[in-house]
Amino acid sequence: MRITRRKLIGSTVRVGLGFGLSRPLWACGEAPVAPPPSPEKALLTFPPELTDGSLSAARASQVIRPGLSAELWTLGRTYPSPTIRRRRGDTFELELTNELGEDTNIHWHGLSVPADMDGHPRDSVADGQARVYRFPIAQRAGTYWYHPHPHERTAKQVYLGMAGFFIVGDEEEDQIDLPRGELDVPLLLQDRRLTTGAIEYVPTMGDVANGYLGETLFVNGVPSARLEVASTLYRFRALNGSNARTFKLAFADGRSMHLIGTDGGLIDAPVATNELWLAPAERADLLVDFSSDPIGTSVKWMSESFAVGDAGAGHGGHGSAGTLVRQGARLELLQIDVARAGPPRTVPTSLAQLERLDPTAALRTRTFELIPREGVTSGMHVINGQVFALDRIDEEVPFGELEIWRVESKDSVSIHPMHLHGAQFRVVSRSGLALPSDRGWKDTVLVFPNETVELAVRFTDYRGAYLFHCHTLEHEDDGMMLNVNVT
Ligand code: C2O
Ligand code: CU
Ligand code: CU
C-alpha cells in the first residue's frame, strides 16, 4: 500500500491525537495574547493518504482521546479510512482483503463505476477472502467517499469506523483559483455515542426508527476537535459520514460560508450562505474566509438546532445525553483558532461549467413513496411498499434516457436522505424551500418530512444493477432500498 502522511494544517505533524502544543509562548506582560484554546480540545488530524494498492478490512484498536482506546472496525487499520486521491482519467485499482470476521465490501459513493465494481450487497467479500476493485475514474473533480455496503450490515460497519474520502482532481478545477495544499481541508463529520466509554453499535428499536444518533461530534475521527488556521481563505470539504444525523451548518459568529461544490463537484458560481443543511452522505465544498480575523480569534463551527426529524427525543438517550442525542440538537462541530497570518485571497466569482438537464425533455416520471416504519405491516422501512430484496429488480431504467424521479415523503417525522448509485442527478423542484445545494450535481438529496422532491436522472456511464436508497443507514439496512437495473 502506498501511503503518505499528509502535512497537517499547523506546524505539528501527527497522526492519532494531537494537542495544541504549538501555540506561541508570549513573554509576560506582552499584548495581545491569544486566549489559550480550551485544554480539552484535541488538534484535528488527518487520515493517511493512499493512491491505490491494498486495504484490509480488519479490527484495530485506536486511541480516540486520552484514556479512551476504542476497538474499531477499519479499512487499512486506521479510522477514518485512508484518504484516496486520484485524477480524472486515472485507472484505480485496489485489493480488499477481508479479515473482519464477517462479510464486507466497498462501495465508491458518488463515483460512477461498472455495476460489478459498485459494492452491491450481492457482491460481498466473505471473511478470509479478497477481491480487486478496478475502474477508470471518468468523474468530475469532487469530494467522493467510500464505505462498506454489505447486506444489512452497512450501518454497523460504517459506525464502527469504515469510511474514508475519495478525492478526485481534474484540469477544469486546476484552472480555478481555489485554496490548495494545506488550505484545502477534508472534514469528515460523524456523531458517536461515548456514553458507555466505548464505541459500540447496539441499536434499539427506537434507533432503527430514528437512526443511531450520538452526542459526541467527531471530525476526522477526533472528538471535540480544534483546527488551527492562518488568516486567509480556506476550502473545507465537509462530508457528513454520520449514520443518521443531519447537520445545519453555521458559524457561531454568523459569518458566511461560500458553497462552491456539491456531491458531484463544483457548481457554477459560489453561493454565500450563513446556514447549510448537510444530511448523511452529502458533501459540501465550502470556502470560508478568515482573512480579516486577528490572530487569536476563535470561531466555533456548529450544527444549529432544528425541529424537523424530531423523533429522536426521548429515544436512545441516557441521562443528560438524552437531550443532546436527539436529531436537531445544537452541537459544536469544530473550534477554529486563527493562529497565524496568511495572505489575503478573494472568493472567485465563477467556478465551473454546469451541464443542464432540461426537465421538460424527460421521457417519463417515476414516483417513489417513502413511508415510515409505523405505517407498514411488515414493520420495516419501505419505498413504494417494498422492503429491499437482494435479487428483486424494482425499476428497469433505460440507459441514456432522461427521467424525472419524484420522491414523495409520507413521513411526518424523519428526514430521508435519498441516494442513487451509478449516476449523479439534478434537483428539479422541491415542495419546501429550495436549498443552495440544489443547484449542483447530487448523488444524495435531503428529503424533509412530508416533502416532495423531483430529480432529473439519467444514467450515461454503465448498464447493470444499481441501488436507490435512504442513506440513514439504519433505514437502509431495515429495507429502505430498491434495485435499479439500467438496461
Ligand atoms: Cu453511500 Cu449505497 O451508499
Ligand atoms: Cu453510493
Ligand atoms: Cu430514511
Q: Closest Cα partner for 201 from 287, 316, 327?
A: 316
Give residue 195's pLDDT: 86
- Looking at ligand 1, which residue's alpha carbon is closest to its atom 1? 109
| Ligand 1 atom index nearest CA of 421 | 2
Centroid of ligand 2 to alpha carbon of 176 (angstroms) = 27
Give residue 196's pLDDT: 86
Grid cell digits, residue 54: 491494498
What's the half-sphere exposure (Cβ side, CA atoms, 13 Å) at 49? 12
**Which secondary structure element, helix H or strand E, spans residue 324, and what is its range?**
helix 321-325
CB-based contacts of 426, cutoff 8 Å, min separation 6: 356, 357, 441, 442, 455, 456
Q: Is the pLDDT of residue 27 over 60?
A: no
Q: What is the mean pLDDT of residues 143-157?
A: 98
- pLDDT bin (cut points 50, 70, 90) of residue 378 is low
Q: Closest Cα partner for 148 from 223, 201, 196?
A: 201
- Looking at ligand 1, which residue's alpha carbon is closest to its atom 3? 109
| Ligand 1 atom index nearest CA of 444 | 1
- pLDDT bin (cut points 50, 70, 90) of residue 308 is confident
List all residues whose CB is within 6 A of at least one atom of ligand 1.
107, 109, 147, 149, 281, 419, 421, 467, 469, 471
d(CA 422, CA 400): 12
Q: Is the pLDDT of residue 40 over 90?
A: no
Give residue 28's pLDDT: 36
137: three-class secondary structure by DSSP: coil
d(CA 161, CA 198): 13
Across all residues in the chain, what is the average pLDDT?
90
- pLDDT bin (cut points 50, 70, 90) of residue 29 is very low
454-487 pLDDT, tens digit per residue, is 999 999 999 999 999 999 999 999 999 999 999 9
Centroid of ligand 3 to alpha carbon of 465 (angstroms) = 21
**Selected residue with higher pLDDT from 23 and 182:** 182
Q: Is the pLDDT of residue 124 over 60?
A: yes
Residue identified by cell 425533455 is 361
Centroid of ligand 3 to alpha carbon of 409 (angstroms) = 10
Least confident interval from 29-33, 102-106, 415-419 = 29-33
402-432 pLDDT, tens digit per residue, is 999 999 999 998 999 999 999 999 999 999 9
- pLDDT bin (cut points 50, 70, 90) of residue 52 is confident
Centroid of ligand 1 to alpha carbon of 320 (angstroms) = 32
**Selected residue with higher pLDDT from 229 and 344:** 229
Give residue 321's pLDDT: 42
Q: What is the mean pLDDT of residues 160-177?
A: 97
Give residue 425's pLDDT: 98
Give residue 371's pLDDT: 84
